[in-house]
Amino acid sequence: TTEETLVLIKPDGVARGLTGAILARIEAKGYALVDIRLVEPDRARLERHYAEHEGKPFYEPLLEFMMSGPSVAIRLAGNRVIEGFRSLAGTTDPTTAAPGTIRGDFGRDWGLKVQQNLVHGSDSPESAGRELGIWFS
């Protein structure tokens, strides 16, 4: 059955001019762009999005990073797209993410307090529903 996920091209991806390259991989995989917009999230929106990480050492740097510039928010649809996009993205740490993935090919560790790992993808149907409501309300 078709499902939907929230994909974000984070501020580092937009600032580095990688939006087109990342979208090309998503489109080449065959997923459907249902909606797409450029968003400059305020703190309240990010606190909702990252509620599960509140209190972790990278939480404040993460919010600062996500407020440092616009992100591209995408409502993406397809069979098993939640799992499929996370596979395209690669693992969280861009240094060790597999080559061939978005993070593995374009990302690295810049020595900052937060992983600037180019993209976000929802991790479950429940997260996807919640996060799509936050970014496409």
Residue 120 designated active-site: yes
Helices 19-29 and 81-89, packing angle to 10 deg: 130
* Footprint on this chain of ligand CMP (rule: CB under 6 A): 53, 58, 62, 92, 114-115, 117, 120
92 a known binding residue?
A: yes
Q: Which residues are 4's β-sheet partners? A: 77
117 a known binding residue?
A: yes
Q: How far apart are CA 11 and CA 25, in angstroms?
A: 18
58 a known binding residue?
A: yes
Q: Toward ligand CMP, which CB reaches closer, 46 or 78?
A: 46
Q: Toward ligand CMP, which CB reaches closer, 1 or 55?
A: 55
| Among the listed residues 43, 49, 45, the one whose alpha carbon sits nearest the alpha carbon of residue 7 | 49
Q: Toward ligand CMP, which CB reaches closer, 1 or 90?
A: 90
Q: Which residue has the tokens 């990302």?
A: 107
Cα–Cα distances in angstroms (integers) from residue 102 to residues 42, 48, 92, in the given order: 26, 25, 11
Q: Indicate which residue of 50, 65, 120, 122 is catalytic.
A: 120
Which residues does the annotation place in the binding site for ATP?
Answer: 10, 58, 86, 92, 103, 117
Which residues does the annotation place in the binding site?
Answer: 10, 58, 86, 92, 103, 117
Q: What positions carry a catalytic annotation?
A: 120
